[in-house]
Amino acid sequence: MAQPKSRARRSSSSTSYTSTLTTLIFTALCVLGIWMLTSNSVVTPKTRTPIDDNNSETTNTDLVEDTPETTTTTTTNIIQQDDPVETTTHIAEDSSRETTTNIPEEPHETTTNISEEPRETTTNTAEEPRETTTNISEEPRETTTNISEEPRETTTNILEESSESNTKSHGQRESDIYGDNAGNLSDDAMANEGGNTVKKEVSTENKVGAGSDNDQKSDNSEKEAQSVQASEEDQKGEEENNNVTQDEKENLNTKQNAEAKNVNMKENQEESMSDDQQSFDVQKGKNNDDDANVQQLREDKGEVTEKEEKTRVEDEGGEKKKVKNMRKWGQILKKEWPTQGDESEVEKKRQKEELGGGNDEVKLQDLNWSICNVSTGHDYIPCLDNEKYLKTSTRKHFVHRERHCPEDAPTCLVPLPKGYKIPIQWPASRDKIWYHNIPHTLLADVKGHQNWVKLKGEFLTFPGGGTQFIHGALHYIDFLQQAEPGIAWGTHTRVILDVGCGVGSFGGFLFERDVIAMSFAPKDEHEAQVQFALERGIPAISAVMGTQRLQFPSQVFDLIHCARCRVPWHEDGGMLLLELNRLLRPGGYFVWCATPVYQTIEEDAQIWKQMSVLTKAICWELVSIKKDKLNQVGAAFYRKPLTNECYEQREQNQPPMCKAEDDPNAAWYVPLQACMHKLPVDNERGTKWPEAWPERLQKVPDWLQASQDFAADNERWKNVVDELSNIGVSWSNVRNIMDMRASCGGFAAALKDLPVWVFNVVNIDAVDTLPLIYERGLIGIYHDWCESFSTYPRTYDLLHADHLFSNLMKRCNLVPVIAEVDRILRPGGNLIVRDEPSVIGEVENLLKSLHWEITSTSQEGLLNGKKAMWRPTS
């Protein structure tokens, strides 16, 4: 490397050294004293190159950069001789200065070059003998040590007085720069692995061209000062390290990460360079310990993004929205569902869910299941037992009996009744159930004489009677068939709606005629009537005819039955009867068995008169009125027209026709209207009666355009019985089944030969296949699983969820959904989940937290969970 300019060389004569020693020491002390006094008041850059004694074996090279405007290239080559020398070189630059410091001694050739190459730092350590930039020969080193030893001691004594003030001044400057004011950090800060942080400044006080004596004095005095200050720095190292704030490390990493690409380190470096190597490794992400610490500091300050990738693809232009590794439980799909729900109600729900809706993500480790603290106890139905609403709601039009779900879906668990037992299997369950499973005796007390239900020991028995058929449902069913042969149970008539079903005996005995009844009744003073029906193994839901449409599509029921159902059909312009008109298939029957049909008292006579006017106005044909001599009751049989001809010939447009934009299939929170929809024409659904049962189950309707979907759904589920048997489902223990996300009804169709019934739930954000399901002779309902279902606890033996949870997780919290699953499934019942493996894992963990038994899982995304008897203690 190039030699420094205008540098005098020390005389080679040892005599010259001896004669000038006294003068040299005196002059050096004077110059050093002046220099130290000057440094107390002015922040002067300094260069320190201490060469200590030969007791150390480590060489430290700390490179500290100043402002971004200064670029530095430093090359230090050190040869290690037999007697190792500790050499420490500290180089720093100020933005306004460029300094070259050379310490020439005839036997020593030391060169430190600082060039202006852009922000590129290279440190090379070589062990090749005699090939160095800094050469320290052994013999001259001993001479230098002997000569300078005495001045060092003298300098140390003199500097003791000034070092305290110097340290104070230096510490004051460090406090100003590296203290609490983290926003004013200097760039010349670096933390090494040993915990010592060195902050140096370079000064150029020695001018090029100075005389040999002044150079020698300055050189020696600088050595003495550097020796003392080196020891001071060692004492202050730990204190200075503590002053390094998180912002220092943050700024250091921010600046050095940009430089890391240009830093090239040789793999085989001396142990003496380990600190620097680790410091550089932080920049390059190779030092795990330091990198983790600095990374954590940056994360704490919010400057490092989350480790989990969050990828979102907006749902615009028909593209699906995808969320990777993160899900927000309150985020709703942007997909419109035009056929379900009042627009304002749906929009209100959507805005709530977009804002979070109170459905924050619940971490599994934070789950603490508890018993629901409600007055209804083990009979709790969240959307029908909303105590907050029941206290303030009106009783008019049975509004208080309609669905009013809690603002936040419950995550509590419903307790088991004391003495609960696994339900009795079908068909024996039709006639008796365990008393302790539904410990209610009110109906036995007030309806026992009508053969609704009786209490016998530990059983509740059901003789099969009802208010209008005291002598049994089977006799009554045959009476209706004889009164109107066109009904043709089990062939022409397959799917019926039983309004005000009581304990479900009418629907229960219709199974013997290959008829499936969708029964419903409100949760009212007839204590637990729907719960009795479900415990017996008979399809039923809790619902009321109030101010909203029932949650079924239009024109799907072959027959609608009302036996003393206590519904005021004639009031409010016939609004409730018009709801039945919406649900009844063209050409279908309405069977009304009530006192106005066969009694002549004034009140009944007046009701019959109003009903006659109303049924004529809606073009229902009164086919016949028949009396059952055994039960001393009578029934009226009405038939809905097949075409619009009668509607068009009416003298008065009362009730009026519904507006063309009113979708008759819309049924999710849709208010009732006193109007009629036009009947289908041409090849629309409803113009033709379905095929006779059981052919209608597999017959593709003429109006169905997507026939390939129909066939694919059948093909998919044709082997489901064997498949579920292989994963632990015991069909002898299964009666009530719910397909929680039904498609075309293929799952239910595959089970037709088993003594089971399937309730097909079509989700409100899915394709509306519910009319097709009814066309096939099956039953179902619309529902949104972000809300609770309108059924009693412990009412289903098997729940089937085909990709339900992955769809729900886009809109609502999974924890309340699992709590709802636990509520409606019986102990010992099965939950079959088909979904993505990641979703299967989440569901499995939640079920395990409920102490469920996971009897089977597979890599294909199939899980079988079995509910246990476990309940939390509080």
| Maximum mean pLDDT: which of 181-190, 390-399, 678-687 | 678-687
Closest among 288, 289, 279 to 253, alpha carbons compared: 279
Q: CA 297 to CA 292: how far, in whole Å?
A: 9
User: What residues have CB less than 8 Å from 231, skipping those under 6 apart?
Assistant: none
Task: Residue 37: count other Cβ atoms within 10 Å of its Cβ.
Answer: 13
Task: Residue 273: count other Cβ atoms within 10 Å of its Cβ.
Answer: 21
The predicted structure's pLDDT at residue 2: 42
Task: Give 271-323 pLDDT, tens digit per residue.
Answer: 434 444 433 333 333 344 444 444 443 433 333 333 333 333 333 333 333 33
Query: By three-state DSSP, how is residue 107 classified?
Result: coil
Q: Percent of the chain having pLDDT more than 70?
A: 60
Sign of CA dihedral 244, 247, 251, 256: positive
Task: Residue 683: count other Cβ atoms within 10 Å of its Cβ.
Answer: 10
| Mean pLDDT on 815-820 | 98
Sign of CA dihedral 598, 599, 604, 609: positive
Q: Which residue has the tokens 């498609």?
A: 743
| Weakest mean pLDDT among 122-131, 447-456, 838-847 | 122-131
3-state SS, one letter per residue, for 558-618: EEEEEECCCCCCCCHHHHHHHHHHHHEEEEEEEEEECHHHHCCCHHHHHHHHHHHHHHHHC
Structure tokens at 311: 């990828």
Tell me the CA distances in angstroms from 193 to 20, 281, 759, one per residue in order: 44, 11, 68
DSSP state of 87: B
Decide which of 366 and 638 is more confident.
638
Closest among 686, 667, 664, 684 to 675, alpha carbons compared: 664
| Full DSSP string of 667-691 | -SSPBP-S-BPPPP-TTSTTSSPPP
Q: CA 873 to CA 220: how far, in whole Å?
A: 84
| Full DSSP string of 221-262 | HHHHHHHHHHHHHHHHHHHHHHT--HHHHHHHHHHHHHHGGG
Task: Residue 70: count other Cβ atoms within 10 Å of its Cβ.
Answer: 19
Decide which of 58 and 14 is more confident.
14
Q: pLDDT band for position 700 (50/70/90)?
A: very high
Q: Using an 8 Å Cβ cutoff, are 818 and 847 in contact?
A: yes
Query: By three-state DSSP, how is residue 387 classified?
Result: helix
Q: CA 241 to CA 737: how far, in whole Å?
A: 69
Q: Is the pTM of this model over 0.75?
A: no
**Residues 650-674: b if buried by 16+ CB within 10 A, e if exposed:** eeeeebeebeeeebbbbbbbbebbb
User: What residues have CB less than 8 Å from 714, skipping those under 6 apart?
Assistant: 698, 744, 746, 749, 750
Tell me the CA distances in angstroms from 96 to 44, 66, 69, 333, 555, one per residue in order: 12, 10, 9, 60, 89
H/E run at residue 151:
helix 138-178
Task: Give 581-637 pLDDT, tens digit per residue.
Answer: 999 999 999 999 999 999 999 999 999 999 999 999 999 999 999 999 999 999 999
| Mean pLDDT on 112-141 | 39
Structure tokens at 269: 């470096």
Q: CA 332 to CA 499: how far, in whole Å?
A: 35
Task: Give 227-253 pLDDT, tens digit per residue.
Answer: 444 444 444 444 444 443 444 444 444
Decide which of 337 and 366 is more confident.
366
Tell me the CA distances in angstroms from 796 to 294, 413, 644, 801, one per residue in order: 55, 16, 41, 13
Helix axes 274-284, 288-300, angle to 10 degrees: 50
Decide which of 99 and 344 is more confident.
344
Classify strands 432-434 and 459-461 as parallel, antiparallel or unpaired: antiparallel
The predicted structure's pLDDT at residue 759: 98
Q: CA 361 to CA 329: how far, in whole Å?
A: 6
| Weakest mean pLDDT among 36-50, 88-102, 672-686 | 88-102
Q: Percent of the chain having pLDDT more than 90?
A: 55
Tell me the one-letter amino acid at 297.
L
Q: CA 202 to CA 36: how far, in whole Å?
A: 15
Angle subtended at Cα 80 by Cα 75 and Cα 84, rounded to the nearest 5 degrees: 125
Q: CA 637 to CA 639: how far, in whole Å?
A: 7
User: What residues have CB less than 8 Å from 471, skipping those under 6 apart?
Assistant: 451, 465, 630, 631
Q: Using an 8 Å Cβ cutoff, are 96 and 70 in contact?
A: no
Q: Using an 8 Å Cβ cutoff, are 789 and 824 in contact?
A: yes
Decide which of 355 and 734 is more confident.
734
The predicted structure's pLDDT at residue 874: 67
Query: By three-state DSSP, how is residue 732 classified?
Result: helix
Q: CA 624 to CA 622: how far, in whole Å?
A: 6
Q: Using an 8 Å Cβ cutoff, are 46 and 230 in contact?
A: no
